[in-house]
Amino acid sequence: MQIWESIIIALRGLTVNKLRTFLTMLGVIIGVASVIALLSIGKGFEQNFNRQIQSMGVNVLWISPGNFDIFSDGSEGASSREARRRQRAPEPLTMGDARALADPALVPDLAAVSPEYSSRPNTVTWGQREMDSSIIGITPDYQGVRNVTLAMGDFISQVHVDRRARVVVLGASVASELFESYEYPLGQMIKLNGTPFEVIGVLEKKDRGIFGDENNRVLIPITAAQTRLYNAGTFRGELVVSAIYAQVADQDRMEVVSDRIHEVLRDRHRLEPDDEKDFTVISQAELLQFGSSITAAISAFLGSIAAVSLLVGGIGIMNIMLVSVTERTREIGIRKAVGAKRRDILLQFLVEAIVLSLIGGFVGIGLGYGVSILLPKLAGFEETVVTSGSVLLATGFAAAVGLFFGVYPATRAARLKPIDALRYE
């Protein structure tokens, strides 16, 4: 009952000077809105990252040339540095490597293996229309491994690969850029870097993600990319590839298959036990782990920036509460003279500070939610996600700010002596 009466008194006191109350709450409003809006950006980035990784396919291992470790802490022992110094030039990945990985006798539990080759320049032309796009040479297994869907037409077949056929499957944005809605793309002859290719299919549209716009790509047979469009070169009699994607049949076997891929490629690249590997195998789980650590750091950074606004708002609350204590010194003296105890005065001003902070917090929640909805439209963010956790965090932080910065003014009011307070002019 006493707390409820203190809330009523606090609300009545706050409405006496509405402008001053609003200006005091403004810092908290901006702080809470900033917390919610900025955390929604971090959460949206995380979900977008995870969705992009999952859209790469199911149970996929990505094998790339070169040795890099996204989880390395930057430290390495003397033996590792010595091995790195004496290591010969790294070998590229080749079609022979892809065939070896696809051999079930060498690497069991692989559902499919999809090598790809890409290079530059990448110019796509049809008539007078020209655009830049990613041109990727692939095999038929690419469709299942990378989880792509056709909107119309056919996908690249093994016959196309064997014949180095000049056929192309367009990404959704490439098709819409080159062809008007009334123009039928299938069967049309477009030029890739000046070389004519026949359009045989168009891919379904995908959401744009952090790895770029997957709709802005064209797919051609890998052999046509390596020999007709670019000069891929050979290594030990095998055509070079840019990357290899391997789809594991059972998710529980991902780590075992990854270890086996390391063994096969080290053997094919003739690496000694002490030699550094010249390739990298990354799983979706590792990419998701890497993405989670990055997004957690981003969210913490953005949240700390927003917390500064709440801190400033808290200082504003303390300032106005100290002014309020000074203005109501005689009121405090009268209340003490008629029997109010120190804890009653303390509770009154503490509740007033918390109410002031919470009202600003609730207004800030609405503002932050509105800003998070508008950000994708105004600032070009792909997605923002407001979670109940961010709302509760902002609300709790606002209440904590009111409590923390209201303690000193409330304590100062409670310590006033009745005689001194009654004589105050």
Residue 135: pLDDT band with limits 50, 70, 90:
very high
First and final CA of the chain: distance in angstroms?
A: 32
- Buried b / exposed e across 8-24, counting CB within 10 Å, b at 16+? eebeebbeeeeeebeeb
Q: What is the pLDDT of residues 189-228, one digit of tens each?
A: 999 999 999 999 999 988 665 556 788 999 999 999 999 9
In a domain, 92, yes or no: yes
The answer on 140 and 160 residing in a single domain is yes
Do 392 and 294 belong together in one domain? yes
Find the domain containing 75 and state its range: 67-111+245-277
Instruction: Indicate whether 86 and 21 sit together in one domain.
Output: no
State whether 305 and 375 are in the same domain: yes
Mean pLDDT of 33-44: 81
In this predicted structure, the answer to whether residue 85 has a pLDDT above a threshold of 50 is: no
Regarding whether 338 and 419 lie in a shared domain, the answer is yes
Please state the length of the chain.
Answer: 425
Residue 150 and residue 129 share a domain: yes
Q: Answer yes or no: do 401 and 367 share one domain.
A: yes
Residue-level pLDDT at 164 = 95
Residue 282 within any structural domain of the chain:
no
Peptide bond into 108 cis (omega under 30): no
Q: Are residues 268 and 306 in the same domain?
A: no
**Is residue 224 within 8 Å of 239, Cβ to Cβ?**
no
Note the pLDDT of residue 113: 94
- Look at residue 285 and tell me if it is in a domain: no
In a domain, 284, yes or no: no
Which pTM value belongs to this model? 0.67
Residue 55's pLDDT is what? 66
Q: Which residues contact 12 (CB under 8 A, 6 or more apart)?
A: none
How many domains is the chain built from? 3
Asked if residue 236 is part of any domain, the answer here is no
Q: Are residues 351 and 402 in the same domain?
A: yes
Segment 299-331, tens digit of pLDDT: 778 777 777 777 777 788 787 777 777 766 777
Residues 274-306: pLDDT tens digits? Answer: 888 889 998 877 777 777 777 778 777 877 777
- Indicate if 212 and 155 belong to the same structural domain: yes
pLDDT bucket at 249, cuts 50 / 70 / 90: confident
Q: In the structure, what pLDDT confidence band is assigned to residue 421 with cuts at 50, 70 and 90?
A: low
- 377 and 303 fall within a common domain: yes
Residue 394's φ and ψ, nearest 5 degrees, are -65, -40
Q: What is the pLDDT of residue 78?
A: 47
Are residues 353 and 389 part of one domain?
A: yes
Q: Cα separations (Å) of 401 from 222, 358, 364?
A: 61, 9, 14
Q: Provide the H-helix boundaries in 225-341.
A: 254-268, 284-327, 329-337
User: 10 Å Cβ neighbour count for 258?
Assistant: 19
Q: Is the per-residue pLDDT at 94 higher than 80?
A: yes
